[in-house]
Amino acid sequence: MSVNKEGIREIIIQQYLLHEFEHHPPSTSQETKPKKVIPRAHTLMDIYKCLHQGEFGLGHSIDNPANFKDQLAHEFSRAKPTATEPTLENVAPDGSVLRLNLRPYRNLFKDNEIKARNLLQQVCFDSARIEKGDRERFFATLAAFREMNNMGEFNVGGMIYVFPQGMVDHFLREIMDLTRRLGSVPVLSHSPVYRQFNAPTYRVVDRVVLKGSPLSSILRQ
């Protein structure tokens, strides 16, 4: 199955630019050739999670609506408002699925945080009703990531982020085996190292739902 390789490349480069680049010291070498480095703020679990969200959306995360509401309220209250992070991050090759980051989102609604939380909650519930995802396409997406990683195609600011080929092969074999045993594509959490470096706090939303909601202005920022 063919996939949108350019879209996948853009997603991964965006993730490295936003959540990896700052965690590497600037090079003091006079060498102008891009330097290959192993990501330190991402593991393959985090790359997988990003691509999985882009393919399948967020339906898996709202099995319990009451718990989802409570967790959102808890995270929202703890998210420190900031204007230095992007409110939205694209995680789908076709742009249809987004991460909405709570820290900059809360910063936009300092005067009415309860309304902001309730509006986001509704966008999430509406997004979860949209059935998304194709197993074959998802595994083709993972294969495309492996190919681009091995070819050194993720160049950000003069650094090429590349996981060791053997590590990627082993990870994907484990995912395939787990899928066979579970009978479904597994959902993974962010790795401890990603949480340590990036403290992620976001919700996954559908672009069409967001565009049709009272929060549509966020898309024009």
User: Cα 8 from chain centroid?
Assistant: 12
Query: Which pLDDT tens digit goes with each residue over 141-200?
Result: 999 999 999 999 999 999 999 999 999 999 999 999 999 999 999 999 999 999 999 999
Q: What is the largest CA-CA distance in the chain?
A: 56
DSSP single-letter state for residue 109 = T
Query: Which pLDDT tens digit goes with each residue over 78-114?
Result: 999 999 999 999 999 999 999 999 999 999 998 899 9
Q: 199 with 42: CB under 8 angstroms? A: no
Query: Which pLDDT tens digit goes with each residue over 37-70?
Result: 999 999 999 999 999 999 999 866 688 999 999 9
31, pLDDT greater than 90 = no
Please work out, in degrees rounded to the nearest 5, the angle formed at the alpha carbon of residue 199 by the alpha carbons of 197 and 205.
130
